[in-house]
């Protein structure tokens, strides 16, 4: 659901007009109207690119095709334009959305993940050991939850890897133990096994966080060179 703004469209247009005409600066606008500098910049961009319509709250979240996402991201990474220019070109209503697509693209290589609507993975599930599940979940986490890569690498189903990741997030390493009664040797984990699993999974999480930080730094550097606001 789109967020409801405390400012009406008329108020936004009035504030943007005062800024564009030089009647008031960002500090004065923030003091008088309580509009943050980041919000003001966003409104100005929307107004310049789409007029008053751009400041009108959407009644529903707009959806974009896989092709549009890929074209927008590749244009940006190839230096075709800045965030604002790419958003205007493809009528993307939110620059944060484009940032998310860029992050997704750099993590996965494309937008055809198992949970992204591009490709439906039909691989059948298979029996796995506890060590295998720990390995698979670690791989998936360290690759920024790319279920598609895990499916192709380990030959398991989407339902399996998705379920294991969810159980790990909810219960920790204990969530990866098979308690269905078919494998009595897996009903519990020893303290040593649990510690090893925790270390392995924590290392995977740290790798994922490092990848995210590296990507953010890369995007900030690109924007700095392009002289974005």
Residue 113 to residue 16: CA distance in whole angstroms: 40
Residue 82 to residue 110: CA distance in whole angstroms: 21
pLDDT digits (tens, 9 = 90+) for 105-163: 665 555 554 444 444 444 567 888 888 898 999 888 888 777 778 888 888 887 788 88
Residue 166 vs residue 218, higher pLDDT: 166
> Which residues have a Cβ under 8 Å from the Cβ of 99 and sit 6 or more positions away?
83, 219
Instruction: Give residue 154's pLDDT.
Output: 87
Instruction: Provide the sign of the torsion angle of the four alpha carbons 47, 53, 59, 61, taken in this order.
Output: negative
- Listed residue (62, 130, 70) closest to 92, CA to CA: 62
Instruction: Provide the sign of the torsion angle of the four alpha carbons 158, 160, 163, 169, taken in this order.
Output: negative
Instruction: Give residue 4's pLDDT.
Output: 45
Instruction: Give residue 205's pLDDT.
Output: 78
User: What is the mean pLDDT of the segment spanning 93-98?
Assistant: 81
> Which residues have a Cβ under 8 Å from the Cβ of 137 and sit 6 or more positions away?
161, 164, 165, 168, 176, 201, 204
CA angle (15, 93, 23) in 5-degree steps = 15
Which percentage of the chain shows pLDDT scores above 90? 1
To 10 degrees, what angle do helices 26-33 and 37-50 make? 110
Instruction: Give residue 146's pLDDT.
Output: 78
Residue 91: pLDDT band with limits 50, 70, 90: confident
Residue 166 to residue 195: CA distance in whole angstroms: 20
Instruction: Give residue 216's pLDDT.
Output: 67
Position 219 pLDDT exceeds 80 = no
Cβ–Cβ under 8 Å, residues 201 and 134: yes
Instruction: Give residue 117's pLDDT.
Output: 43
Average pLDDT, the chain: 76
Instruction: Give residue 85's pLDDT.
Output: 81
> Which residues have a Cβ under 8 Å from the Cβ of 42 and sit 6 or more positions away?
95
Record the tokens describing residue 105, joined without a space. Answer: 């693209």
pLDDT digits (tens, 9 = 90+) for 13-33: 899 899 888 888 888 998 898
Please state which of the ranges 2-16, 55-69, 191-205 shows the lowest mean pLDDT.
55-69
Residue 187: pLDDT band with limits 50, 70, 90: low
Alpha carbon distances (Å) from 73 to 79, 102, 111: 10, 6, 11
Residue 39 to residue 50: CA distance in whole angstroms: 16
Instruction: Give residue 159's pLDDT.
Output: 77
Record the tokens describing residue 38, joined without a space. Answer: 């980041």
Instruction: Give residue 181's pLDDT.
Output: 52
Residue whose token pair is 């890569």? 149
Cβ–Cβ under 8 Å, residues 54 and 87: no
164 exposure class (CB count in 10 Å sphere: 0-12, 13-18, 19+): buried
């Amino acid at each position: 659901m789109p967020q409801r703004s405390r400012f009406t469209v008329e108020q936004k247009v009035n504030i943007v007009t005062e800024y564009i005409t030089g009647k008031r600066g960002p500090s004065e606008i923030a003091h008088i109207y309580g509009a943050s500098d980041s919000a003001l910049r966003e409104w100005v961009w929307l107004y310049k690119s789409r007029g008053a319509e751009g400041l009108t709250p959407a009644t529903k979240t707009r959806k974009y095709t896989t092709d549009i996402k890929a074209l927008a991201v590749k244009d940006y990474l190839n230096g075709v334009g800045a965030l604002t220019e790419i958003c205007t070109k493809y009528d993307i209503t939110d620059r944060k959305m484009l940032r998310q697509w860029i992050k997704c693209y750099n993590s996965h290589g494309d937008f055809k993940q198992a949970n992204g609507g591009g490709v439906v993975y039909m691989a059948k599930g298979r029996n796995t050991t506890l060590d295998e599940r720990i390995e698979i979940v670690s791989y998936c986490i360290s690759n920024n939850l790319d279920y598609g890569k895990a499916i192709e690498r380990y030959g398991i189903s989407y339902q399996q890897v998705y379920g294991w990741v969810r159980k790990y997030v909810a219960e920790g390493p204990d969530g990866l133990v098979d308690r269905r009664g078919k494998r009595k040797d897996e009903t519990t984990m020893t303290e040593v096994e649990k510690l090893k699993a925790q270390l392995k999974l924590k290392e995977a999480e740290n790798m994922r966080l490092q990848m995210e930080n590296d990507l953010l730094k890369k995007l900030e550097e690109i924007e700095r060179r392009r002289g974005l606001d």
